[in-house]
Amino acid sequence: MDENEQETWEVAATASGLAKANVIAGRLTAEGIRTCLSYESAGAIYGITIDGLGEVRILVPAAEKERAAEILARAWEDGELPWDKPAGSQ
């Protein structure tokens, strides 16, 4: 059995469409939290975002759910982001 199959995953957030879900998942991944997206394939194939068809659930390991909520609740001002620093520098 795969390690991920034994682990409990919970919904950290929902998004309307894959593009928004990937942004949210990327934000969590950048903070070291593994993510998994759950969605109906028809919504993704046809780009339908009404009546719940385009809803994408962003799942995280249950042990990381609280930290994920804190990360997603955080907002940054433009001046707080390190735009002028090359990647990997401090």
CATH code for the domain of 55: 3.30.70
Domain that holds residue 49: 3-72
Mean pLDDT over the full length of the chain: 80
Contacts of 29 (CB under 8 A, 6+ apart): 35
Give helix then strand counts, H and E, for the chain: 4, 3
* Number of domains composing the chain: 1
More confident of the two residues 1 and 30? 30
Give the pLDDT confidence of 8-38 residue by residue, as tens digits: 999 999 998 888 999 999 999 999 999 999 9
Task: Examine residue 54 and state whether it is found in any structural domain, yes or no.
Answer: yes
Task: Examine residue 20 and state whether it is found in any structural domain, yes or no.
Answer: yes
> Which segment of 14-18, 58-62, 67-71 scores lowest on mean pLDDT?
14-18
CA separation for the pair 2, 30 (Å, rounded): 24
CA separation for the pair 18, 86 (Å, rounded): 29
Contacts of 69 (CB under 8 A, 6+ apart): 12
Task: Examine residue 44 and state whether it is found in any structural domain, yes or no.
Answer: yes
